[in-house]
Structures are given as structure tokens and as C-alpha cells.
Structure 1
Amino acid sequence: MPKVIDERRRRERIAEAVWAIVARDGLEGATVRAVAAECGLSAGAVQHSFRSQAELQRFAMELVVERAAARIDATGRRAAPDAATGSGASALKAVEAVLSELLPLDAERLAEARVWAAFSAAALADPALAPLSRRMIAVVEGLCARCLAQLRADGALGPAAGDALAAPALRALVDGLTVGLLADPSPAARRQARAVLHAHLESLRP
């Protein structure tokens, strides 16, 4: 009986191999031959699933966005009950924990951030990737907006933080801290990133 191949799962497996190579060697290292070796397939099998290097790169980036969006959405849903305590300090602590999950504060998240940074850089030169980059920005900004809404509901947000720029500003802070940690992922830099996020959230209190 012929073996049934789950093509979607095989494409995801290939994309995961791209991520591993990109995190280790950069996007230029993710050749078809290298990707095939990483995931234990033949180059022909990879080319059967993806007709070109560009198609493989787009799918790998799409899968990053898809999984990150699902994780961020789940994180936001978990945070809401934790934050809704009636205590502004408790709500602030819960929101800080949620937003900290976006930062590359451990090896796994650092690898993910390296992969995303490589794809984001590629999107600057490839119009086909640009919408994916914008979607990720929207996903992160949406979480920031939900966190601010939760703080407002718990009375932990001052009037100065209630304008339309509050969520983009918070997202920009998270992005900036992420870039800084990519350049310097040392324990001291991680502590500083946490302290900066904490200080910013404290500054939003009434």
C-alpha cells in the first residue's frame, strides 16, 4: 500500500528547517540543499513541495506569522482573566508579564527573533513579503491595544495614555527592545529590557 504523504505537514517541516538554518546561519544559508539536509529530505522532495526558493521563503515567513499570531492571541486571552482583579497594580503586573513574552529573553525566543529579523530585512526588498511584515506589526500592536484596554478597565491607565498613539508607542518600545536584545542578549541587557518595559508601564499609571 503506497505511503500517504501529508503535504501540508511536509511543507511545515521544510519551513521549520528554514527557520533553524536562518537562526544559525542567516537567510542566505537557507539554500535548497541546506534545507533538505536539515530536515532529512532529498533536494528533489523539497523542490516538489516548493517550485522556487522565493516560494519556500514566502511560506516559511507566512508560517512564522501564523504561529506567532496564534501564540500572541492565546497569550492575550490568558492575560485578561489574570488582569481583571480590580487592582491596578495586579493588572499592571499581569500586562507586564504578557508583553515580556514578546521579548527574546531566553534562547528559544532569541532564535525566533533572529528568524523574524532576517525575514523582515528581506521584506524591505521583496514586495511579496511586505504584507506579511505589516501583518506581524498589526498583530503585536493589537496585543498592545488589548493590554492597554485591560489596564484602562482596571483603573491602571492614566488619561495621557488614552490616545490613539498609545498602542503604536508601546509596540515600538517592544520592537526597539527586541532589536537591542538581538545585538546584545546578555543577562544584563535582558534585565535592562525588563526594567525599561516596567518603567514605561508604570509611567502610564494615573
Structure 2
Amino acid sequence: MPKIVDHDQRRAEIVEAYLTVVARDGLPAATSRAIAAELGVGVGTLWHYFEGFDAIAAGAYQRIVDRTNSRIAAATAGLRGLDALYAMFREILPLQKETFDEAYVVVGFWGRLAEGDGITAARLDVGVHWAELMRRHLGEAIADRTLRPETPIDRVIEVLQAIAAGQQVHAVIGTAPADPDRRLDMITYCLRPWQ
């Protein structure tokens, strides 16, 4: 009798193996061979569940987005305004090992997107979701009078998103301040004119 395989579960296991290899050995070490070895299977097994390595990278990116969104929801529960905004950025910025490892996967995925259009269908515009959250928290800050009413919310959101993306890139290439407080200070610096 043939073995019944849960394809979604197997794909999730492959993605988790990819993330494990990245966290332990770094992004360059996350090859199809290393992922297969992590799972104790042959490399060919991976291609029964994914069309290619880009699809694995896209799956890992999506998994990180899901994890980050879950952490944001938990961290901001019961908070509003700037407290919620800072709690959100503590889950996005590379401030500890988990988010630092995630930055490698995210930036690596962006690199794959830049190389061609083979995985554009897998792109998740997380920026739209995060912009909605930021818009809500900044609006609350205005309502709470911790930000001025004339705060240009859309422009501030653009800068905050650029800070988030830039900090992930800088963490990966090692040119940003390693001190988590200095990374968060960029958010403070962005908001200071409107407080």
C-alpha cells in the first residue's frame, strides 16, 4: 500500500528546515543539499513539493511574515498609539537573534525577486498590512495628543517602512548599529518633529 503523504505538512517541514539552516549556518549555507540533509532525505525529494528553490525561499518568506504578524498582534494587544507602534517595530526590526535571522531570509528573498520575475506571484505585499496598522496607531497617537494633529501620517509611514527595510538590509550586510536601542531610536527620530 502506498504511503500517504500530507503535502502541505511536508512543504511546511521543508520551509522549517530552510529556516533552521539559515538560523544555524547563515543564508549562504541554505542550499537544497543542506535542506535535504536537515530533513534526512534526498535532494530530489524537495522537488516533489516545490517547483524550485525560489519557491522554497518564497515559502520561508511567507512563514516569516506570518510569524511576524502573529508576534505583532500579541505584542500590541491592549496597546494603542505610540506604545503600540513601538511594540510593532520591536517585532519587525532586527533587534534580537530571531528577528536578525529573519532579516537574512527576508533580504535574501528580496534579492531573488530582484533577479527576475520567476517568483513575483509569491510576493506578499506585507507593506500594505503594516501601513494599515501604522496608520491606526499614528491616528490613535494624534487622538491621544502624543502626536500633533498636522502629522503627515502617510509620509511618516513611508519613512517608517524605509527604516524597517533599511535596518533589515543593514543588519544583513553588517553596516547598521548593532545596539537595538539605536535601531529603535530611528523611529523616535522620525516621530520627534510631530510630538
TM-score bracket for this pair, using the shorter chain length: 0.7 to 0.9
Cα distance change, pair 17–144 in 1 and its aligned pair in 2 (3 A): same
Q: Identity of paired residues, percent?
A: 27
Cα distance change, pair 97–62 in 1 and its aligned pair in 2 (3 A): closer
Could you say what secondary structure the match of 2:100 adopts? helix
Q: Does 1:111 align with 2:101?
A: yes
Q: Which amino acid in 2 is paired with 1:103?
A: L
Q: Does 1:126 align with 2:107?
A: no
> How large is the RMSD of aligned CA atoms in angstroms?
2.8
Alpha-carbon distance in 1 for matches of 2:186, 2:55 = 39
Cα displacement string for residues 94-120 of structure 1 (whole angstroms, at most 9, x for unaligned residues): 432322221111111100111111111
Alpha-carbon distance in 1 for matches of 2:76, 2:53 = 36
Number of residue pairs aligned between Structure 1 and Structure 2? 193
Q: 1:26 maps to which residue?
A: 27
Segments of 4+ in structure 1 off by > 4 A? 1-4, 131-134, 184-187
Q: 2:132 maps to which residue?
A: 142
Alpha-carbon distance in 2 for matches of 1:173, 1:30 = 27
Alpha-carbon distance in 1 for matches of 2:123, 2:18 = 17
Q: 1:203 maps to which residue?
A: 193
Q: 2:79 maps to which residue?
A: 82
Q: Which amino acid in 2 is paired with 1:58?
A: A
Q: 2:45 maps to which residue?
A: 45
CA contact 2:19–2:60 (8 Å) conserved in 1: yes
Cα distance change, pair 96–8 in 1 and its aligned pair in 2 (3 A): same
Cα distance change, pair 2–185 in 1 and its aligned pair in 2 (3 A): farther
Could you say what secondary structure the match of 1:164 adopts? helix
Q: Which amino acid in 1 is paired with 2:141?
A: L
Q: Which amino acid in 2 is paired with 1:153?
A: A
Alpha-carbon distance in 1 for matches of 2:120, 2:134 = 21
